[in-house]
Amino acid sequence: MKELKLLKGNEAIAEGAIRAGADAYFGYPITPQSEVMEYLMAERPEQRTGMIVLQAESEVAAINMLYGAAGTGKKALTSSSSPGISLMQEGLSYIAGAELPCLIVNVARGGPGLGTIQPSQADYFQATKGGGHGDYRLITIAPASVQEMFDFVALGFELAFKYRNPVMILSDGLIGQMMEKVELSEQKPRATEFDQSWATTGTPANREQNVITSLDLDAGQQEVHNKKLQAKYKKIVENEVRYEEFQTEDADYLFVAYGSSSRICQKAMELARNKGHKVGLLRLISLYPFPKDIVRELSFRVKSILCVEQSAGQMIEDVRLAAGCEIQIEHFGRMGGMIPIPEEVLEALEQKLIGE
């Protein structure tokens, strides 16, 4: 029998973490993601699975607790919203440098600065290009429904351990605050099937000491380490591209969007098709690795592209890089926490692409 529940996106992250067999959650409250920790605290996962939930004294503390827990090979996660994620960037760079698997959830809100508490997608650059220092990448996946908020926690842990790399779920206040039907999967064990021989779990007599660090003062050694990281990122780019296509077969015009904007574009697409415009949608699921091959392929087939983002235009830079020809690529977005509505997207399509 299917186990169905009506959950907020934030609650689905929390239930997803328990059911994915997470060992620990560290966080600090911030709107619009506070329900993640609220739900976890209320569910008493220490009784359900032995999972630990801890409210840290700040986001800086939370990310460093995550660093420590991940270093022991445990399945750990944190969540925050934009300003809190900015505070975590130093820790994220260290975690990426030390190659530790863990999960970071950003339920993004309007910025810059403290900004607003309303939904935004203006953290794309930070999530995909590295908000901290050094040559590193986060695997970044963008859920577009409450079901995916639940499912992507398990997926995120899988990718994190497969590559020994931090994974970010980039969501926003719209998906975090909305409620939808979620089909819950069965409880997974807390143990992971992936190799953990690198973890600091106490040194037995028959092996060398494991060291977790991002520091190597020998520049030559640091370059060797960087080359190893780059080889790993290359593998991620080759193997972990994810996207979804909607009615692209006969499309003259293409929306490219991710997360909540892709939901809004689906409705705009319906409205456009009702008016006789052949519009398709490419919904990006992995933002790093960026699905550049499909963007390139579609750019040869459609007349023009409209990138829809709740930002001044960030993803559009990657779309332009990936597009293989001199095709018209335009941006439509709202900023600062304003949510675009389907009719606005349709108007932008008609004005910018179709020329009506």
Chain centre to alpha carbon of residue 103: 9
* Shortest reach from residue 339's CB to another protein, in Å: 5
- Examine residue 341 and tell whether it contacts another protein (CB under 8 A): yes
Q: Give the span between the Cα atoms of 198 and 39, in whole angstroms.
A: 33
- Examine residue 12 and tell whether it contacts another protein (CB under 8 A): no
Q: Give the span between the Cα atoms of 353 and 356, in whole angstroms.
A: 8
Residue range at the interface with another protein (CB under 8 A); choices 51-59, 120-128, 294-302, 336-344: 336-344
Q: Are strands 286-288 and 139-141 parallel, antiparallel or unpaired?
A: antiparallel
Of 117, 184, 199, 335, the residue at the interface with another protein (CB under 8 A) is: 117
Using CB under 8 A as the binding criterion, the count of chain residues that bind another protein stands at 26
Q: Give the span between the Cα atoms of 236 and 232, in whole angstroms.
A: 6
Give the DSSP per-residue string, 197-247.
TTS-S---TTSPPP---S----HHHHHHHHHHHHHHHHHHHHH---EEEES
Return the number of the residue (98 or 182) whose C-beta is nearest another protein. 182
**Phi and psi angles of residue 156, each rounded to the nearest 5 degrees, phi first:** -60, -45
Q: Give the span between the Cα atoms of 181 and 179, in whole angstroms.
A: 7
Q: Give the span between the Cα atoms of 344 and 324, in whole angstroms.
A: 28
Spell out, one character per residue from 163 to 182, where the chain touches another protein: x when CB under 8 A holds, - when not: ----------xx--xxxxx-
* Shortest reach from residue 32's CB to another protein, in Å: 6
Return the number of the residue (179 or 312) whose C-beta is nearest another protein. 179
Residues 14-53 binding another protein (CB under 8 A) are 31-32
Return the number of the residue (118 or 192) whose C-beta is nearest another protein. 118
* Shortest reach from residue 176's CB to another protein, in Å: 9
Asked if 67 and 34 count as a contact pair (C-beta separation under 8 A), the reply is: no
Residue range at the interface with another protein (CB under 8 A); choices 21-29, 211-219, 307-315, 341-349: 341-349
Question: Which residues sit at the interface with another protein, rule CB under 8 A?
Answer: 4, 6, 31-32, 117-118, 173-174, 177-181, 260, 263-264, 266-270, 339, 341-344
